[in-house]
Structure 1
Amino acid sequence: MRIAVIDLGTNTFHLLIAETAGNQLEILYKTNVPVKLGEGRINDNIIIPAAFERGVNCLETFSHTIAEYEIDEIRAMATSAVRSAENGQDFVDAVKERTGISIQTISGNEEAELIYQGVKLSGAITEVSLIMDIGGGSVEFILCDTQKLIWKKSYNIGAARLMQQFFKSDPIADEEKNAILFHIQNQLADLFDICEKYRPIILIGSAGAFETFAELMIRKNNLKTAINTAKTFAFNFDDYIATSIKLLNATHHERAEMPGMIPLRVDMIVIAALITNYVLGRCKINRLMLSTYDLKMGVLASKL
């Protein structure tokens, strides 16, 4: 069976085309486009006209690619930016009209479930783990062990939301960091309660910002790992902490010049580092792993 999975993230739209047969999976094509659907007014729950048009144009391009692969099924998933926008349904309707692609706007809970299934497929879960997926609109947390998903929740504290609300200085000012930490501390109270009970010993970062963290460290240390083909990557924890502190103290220009940095994440990586470090500290976790498998692979996992 040949399936196309589209993940309409707040920052990036992804297209993955795969062939499944029994429990075998072959990736035929994958790409991502920095659409920035949450640009400008995500906290006002509006997709601005320029972002709206970029999104539809991107999906028109995706539809041409899909047509070349003779697909049996298309699964298009819209997440935080679309589900929270007052004109989110208008966007879904415009895409259907111009491309024929039917978009399913999924809840935060459904998003967390698919992320869990994707990470599980990567083989990253080997003990009691806290999975974290930092999107532009929302951040998902999943507590799990090797056998089951224990708890999951999606929070509207994505990097684009926090950046638009708090991040005004270059480099980020201490008062802005403190305002962000105060905000997420209040939001994540139930996460810290459940982690106190189950005590996860590793944080698994799902794709996105964690791939950028990994790329920065791979380039810095001249490692042989290729993130685009790896399923997982185990961070040297002290190296991660040093890298994250460097990111927090750097200017926009200094971050942009770091080998391994992609333009989309030059500023959002600051928010990602802040949230990640806070969660690691509050949950007393000192091990960190990347799973390159995320929501898209979670969709495919249900086909195996």
Structure 2
Amino acid sequence: MAQATPQNNIFAVIDLGSNSFHMMIAKYMAGGVHTIGRVKRKVRLAAGLDENNVLSLEAMERGWECLALFAERLQDIPKENIRIVATATMRLAINADVFIKKAELILDHQVNVISGEEEACTIYKGVAHTSACQGRQLVIDIGGASTEVVIGKGFDALLYKSLNMGCVTFLERYFQNGELSESNFNNATNAAKAIIAPIQSDFKKLGWELAIGASGTVQAIQEIQAAQGQTEVLTLENLKAIQSAAVQFDSIGALDLPGLSEERRLVFVSGLAILIALFESLEIQTMGLAGGALREGVLYSMIPDFQDNDIRKRTLDGLMQRYHVDKQQAERVAELANSLASQVQSQWCFDIDQVKAILNASACLHEIGLIIDYKLYHKHSAYILKNSGMPGFSKAEKQLITAIVDAHRIDLSISQFEQYSGYALLVERLVRIMRLAVVLSMRRQNDVLPEISLKTDQNDNLTLCMDSAWLIAHPLMQTELEQEGKYQRKLQTSLKIERQ
């Protein structure tokens, strides 16, 4: 076989965490970064630290064994495209040099022990590049031996701190031998509050609009809430309810909560205790889950093209390039959809900036399924979006865009929107606008439409006003609009074409 040559667009990041070791392999293509491989091993390095911060040989050997697996995958990646970072346990261990020396021999690459502050800033960068950045954000990442707390805006970390507490160290300290009780849970929470206290005032004073969790603990709680039919949003009330359910079990080994994975069970209660302390100390009202953290922050730092601050545009451009979307048509549909939305904004009480962003994204992506087949391309488009990462868009925004794309043509039914519960009406209204924009853009040419206006009444009925002579000269468009009216009647609303 011919000798393989390194691929310059492949990147690798290894995170030697205190609980797990992670390796992420990504490929830069079509204007975006796409994960092509992940390997994760529970090493629990922090569990090997004794009271004098000496790391045990047993813990080191678990780590070296894991790195031997990682090394096989690294050999095909250019060295300049590899970054290896070590975090809290390597900062704490007084014999860290012993572990690092052998680790570098195994990996044939330098291991960088990053400071707590650098870890916090890098975590924030990973969140900023993969999540919806809107206003000031509080980002929290509960690791194995440290917890990073950051307030940032855009791509800039404004206030950041690394706290000496983590789900592995707190497990060893407050849940010895796996014992689980109200008392040891409260001891862990109070200890976390004492560590948070020195930073409490500064963080509350600066404030934030959105709180995001970037750790496995937050994801585990979301999965528990989903198993109970609850929303993805974390609240203190929900955390307390999960705590109450957890302490009914005598031991962590017996812990069996619906939705809690076996992989996360061991360090779940210690992470939950820390998170409750953060919610109470910083008075966090709600929290969502970030799309990325430390590894993503390291990865995006390696690629110069990803210093572009408009993450949403970068995401949309990448998807359009990958699926060969007609950009001019996307722009026509977006322009029309935004114009129609603006005309009914006062009656429908839209947050017009948010609506325009959603309609713009939907217009950019509604035809990506054409690369598969025309007949059901809207379904193909929705499937692709549902199963694709969309950095810059929150989970709720992605769901909204996918719903609009899925329903932008052909048949309609009320049942399509029932799953969106609290924002079903918004989805339905944006779908109706998007469908009109798509029909009116059917000629795929600029400057072919007459002046158009859209009105609505208190029953959500729409009236589209168009020039009568133009409609007579364009019978196909007239027929398509009449058919659209029939589709929209299935939503128990109407679309009337008013000729002027």
Band of TM-score, shorter chain: 0.7 to 0.9
| CA distance in 2: counterparts of 1:59 and 1:290, whole angstroms | 28
Preserved contact between residue 35 and residue 54 of structure 1 (Cα < 8 Å) = yes
| CA distance in 2: counterparts of 1:60 and 1:252, whole angstroms | 31
Aligned counterpart, 1:226: none
* Identity, % of aligned positions: 25
Aligned counterpart, 2:226: 218
3-state secondary structure, aligned to 1:44: coil
Larger RCO, structures 1/2 (Cα 8 Å, 6+ apart): 1
Aligned counterpart, 2:498: none
Preserved contact between residue 130 and residue 290 of structure 2 (Cα < 8 Å) = yes
**CA positional deviation for 1:275:** 1.5
**TM-aligned CA distance change 1:5 to 1:147, over 3 Å:** closer
**CA positional deviation for 1:242:** 2.5
**CA positional deviation for 1:99:** 3.0
Preserved contact between residue 143 and residue 166 of structure 2 (Cα < 8 Å) = yes
Aligned counterpart, 2:143: 135
Aligned counterpart, 1:252: 252
**CA positional deviation for 1:146:** 4.0
| CA distance in 2: counterparts of 1:244 and 1:125, whole angstroms | 30
3-state secondary structure, aligned to 2:172: helix
Aligned counterpart, 1:301: 300
Is 1:84 equivalent to 2:83 in the alignment? Answer: no
Q: Which has the higher strand share?
A: 1
Cα-to-partner distance string for 1:51-84 (whole Å, 9 max, x where unaligned): 1111111111101022255665210000011121
The one-letter code of the counterpart of 1:288 is M
| CA distance in 2: counterparts of 1:98 and 1:139, whole angstroms | 28
Is 1:47 equivalent to 2:55 in the alignment? Answer: yes
Is 1:283 equivalent to 2:282 in the alignment? Answer: yes
| CA distance in 1: counterparts of 2:29 and 2:85, whole angstroms | 23
Match for residue 188 of structure 1 among 178, 189, 196? 196
**TM-aligned CA distance change 1:237 to 1:163, over 3 Å:** closer
Q: Give structure 1 stretches of 5+ with no counterpart.
A: 224-232
| CA distance in 2: counterparts of 1:93 and 1:275, whole angstroms | 33
| CA distance in 2: counterparts of 1:281 and 1:272, whole angstroms | 14
3-state secondary structure, aligned to 1:267: helix
Q: Give structure 2 stretches of 5+ with no counterpart.
A: 1-8, 307-500
- The count of corresponding residues between Structure 1 and Structure 2 is 294
Q: Which has the higher helix share?
A: 2
Query: If you compute each CA radius of gyration, which structure gives the higher value, 1 or 2?
Result: 2
| CA distance in 2: counterparts of 1:42 and 1:75, whole angstroms | 29
Preserved contact between residue 128 and residue 155 of structure 2 (Cα < 8 Å) = no
Query: RMSD between aligned alpha carbons?
Result: 2.5
| CA distance in 1: counterparts of 2:30 and 2:91, whole angstroms | 33
Preserved contact between residue 42 and residue 81 of structure 1 (Cα < 8 Å) = no
Preserved contact between residue 63 and residue 101 of structure 1 (Cα < 8 Å) = no
**TM-aligned CA distance change 1:271 to 1:202, over 3 Å:** farther
Cα-to-partner distance string for 1:181-204 (whole Å, 9 max, x where unaligned): 332222212321113212334431
Is 1:62 equivalent to 2:75 in the alignment? Answer: no
**CA positional deviation for 1:24:** 1.6
**TM-aligned CA distance change 1:25 to 1:263, over 3 Å:** same
| CA distance in 1: counterparts of 2:147 and 2:291, whole angstroms | 16
